[in-house]
């Protein structure tokens, strides 16, 4: 009897299991359940529902979203008395509908901010008090509107130079170094429950990381309500090393910070700048040598990318007590800003889903890495 049950039921069960695996691969969000949330930055076509294929991937795979551009100052607040919340409201509704962890990006940055922000109506630079008032107003409007709905805000983006000193942005020049403390204070006033993040790139490099550690130590000492650090994670196949990543996560954990890997992508194209950067204003002339994979990514490079993603997720998992979110900067390779930055018009392959929306070997590698933290 038993033998008979086995011989009929087991193969059937195996067949079902096999079919389930073949049709619906495990999802990223399920694979990392209990470790950290897995996010994607989404664009306007995805927010409005126009990108049907992209939306299906987002809902199946991710449990957090970031706004690629729609909450930046120039998009949402283009004129002194004009806010446009059309897309941002849909962004937040999109996340709520799927019970996602919703990120706000960003409040205070020197890029994608209109020139008028720093000037009076005669065109002269504002003084400290006037700029602080404008900054407070913007932060209160944004954070207040989505109070209790956007769970985490990137309050200040990219305030540091590569050597760890303060960037001389107009925010810093007009207000002084304490513009950062003020921005966090205003955001906290507007939503005391929200996670508040300092977000930057290249913090895996020692000099810049030391600057960030000094900055956060100072802010914490002053009682500034900062809860987390965002490591953008615009990485390459070789940078940052696993050791740099490991040391960086340990350093911020020691300060009592949570860490979000906030904008992850891994570049496989030839480097176009001497030093790794994520400076959005860099723009380099295209040439064929810089764009070698127009007709597809060779399998050997697919495998390198997969291995690289597995290594990175190994470190994130090792620090899962401090890493609370890993967000990819885009959904498919076709969506990625890396197709136009730092060189316009390249064919780039930095994400887990290809241009047809299919999972790449790197996707399988990230799924397989779940539950296997690096030692």
Answer whether the bond into residue 214 is a cis peptide, omega within 30°.
Answer: no
- Rounded to a whole number of angstroms, the minimum distance from the CB of residue 78 to ligand XIL is 15
Return the number of the residue (67 or 361) whose C-beta is nearest ligand XIL: 67
33 — phi, psi (to 5°)?
A: -55, 130
- Rounded to a whole number of angstroms, the minimum distance from the CB of residue 128 to ligand XIL is 25
Residues 6+ apart with CB under 8 A from 143: 104, 107, 150, 153, 186, 187, 190, 191, 194
Return the number of the residue (27 or 69) whose C-beta is nearest ligand XIL: 69
Return the number of the residue (263 or 333) whose C-beta is nearest ligand XIL: 263
Residue 27 contacts ligand XIL per CB under 6 A: no
Sign of CA dihedral 335, 341, 344, 349: negative
Smallest CA-to-CA distance from 306 within 296, 295, 298, 317 is with 298
Phi-psi label, residue 330: left if phi above 0, alpha if psi -120 to 50, beta otherwise: left
275 — phi, psi (to 5°)?
A: -105, 140
Ordered alpha helix ranges (H), 191-233 = 206-221
Residue 44 contacts ligand XIL per CB under 6 A: no
Which residue among 74, 82, 96, 158 is the active-site one? Answer: 158
Interactions with ligand XIL, residue window 251-270 (CB under 6 A): 263
- Rounded to a whole number of angstroms, the minimum distance from the CB of residue 11 to ligand XIL is 49
Q: Give the x/- contact pattern for ligand XIL in 65-84, rule: CB under 6 A.
A: ---xx---------------
Interactions with ligand XIL, residue window 230-249 (CB under 6 A): 232
- Rounded to a whole number of angstroms, the minimum distance from the CB of residue 197 to ligand XIL is 11
Residue nearest to ligand XIL (CB): 337
Using a 10 angstrom Cβ sphere, with 0-12 exposed, 13-18 middle and 19 or more buried, the burial of residue 130 is middle
Q: Is 189 a catalytic residue?
A: no
Q: Is 96 a catalytic residue?
A: no
Smallest CA-to-CA distance from 311 within 231, 258, 244 is with 244
Residue 87 contacts ligand XIL per CB under 6 A: no
Active site amino acids: 158, 263
Q: Report the interface residues with ligand XIL, using CB under 6 A.
A: 68-69, 157, 232, 263, 278, 280, 337
């Amino acid at each position: 009897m038993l033998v008979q049950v086995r011989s009929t039921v087991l193969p059937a069960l195996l067949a079902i299991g096999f079919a389930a695996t073949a049709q619906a691969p495990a999802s990223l969000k399920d694979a990392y359940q209990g470790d950290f949330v897995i996010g994607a930055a989404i664009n306007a076509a995805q927010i409005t529902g126009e990108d049907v294929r992209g939306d299906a991937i987002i809902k199946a795979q991710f449990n957090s979203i970031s706004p690629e551009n729609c909450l930046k100052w120039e998009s949402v607040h283009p004129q002194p008395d004009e806010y446009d919340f059309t897309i941002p409201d849909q962004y937040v509704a999109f996340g709520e509908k799927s019970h996602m962890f919703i990120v706000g990006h960003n409040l205070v940055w020197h890029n994608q901010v209109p020139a008028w922000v720093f000037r009076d109506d005669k065109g002269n630079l504002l003084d400290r008090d006037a700029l602080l008032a404008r900054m407070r107003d913007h932060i209160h409007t944004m954070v207040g509107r989505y109070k209790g709905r956007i769970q985490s805000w990137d309050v200040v983006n990219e305030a540091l130079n590569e050597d760890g000193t303060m960037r001389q942005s107009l925010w810093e020049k007009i207000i002084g170094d304490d513009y950062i403390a003020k921005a966090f204070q205003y955001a906290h006033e507007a939503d005391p429950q929200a996670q508040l993040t300092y977000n930057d790139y290249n913090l895996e490099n020692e000099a810049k990381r030391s600057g960030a550690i000094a900055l956060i130590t100072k802010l914490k000492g002053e009682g500034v309500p900062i809860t987390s650090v965002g490591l953008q994670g615009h990485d390459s196949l070789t940078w940052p090393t696993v050791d740099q990543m490991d040391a960086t996560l340990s350093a911020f954990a020691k300060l009592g910070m949570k860490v979000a890997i906030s904008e992850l992508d891994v570049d496989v194209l030839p480097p176009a700048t001497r030093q790794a950067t994520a400076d959005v204003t860099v723009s380099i002339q295209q040439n064929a040598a810089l764009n070698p994979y127009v007709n597809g990514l060779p399998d050997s490079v697919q495998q390198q990318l997969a291995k690289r993603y597995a290594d990175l997720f190994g470190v994130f998992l090792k620090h899962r007590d401090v890493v609370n979110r890993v967000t990819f900067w885009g959904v498919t390779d076709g969506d990625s800003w890396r197709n136009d930055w730092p060189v316009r018009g390249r064919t780039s392959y930095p994400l887990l889903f290809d241009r047809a929306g299919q999972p790449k070997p790197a996707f399988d590698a990230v799924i397989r890495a779940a539950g296997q933290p690096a030692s």
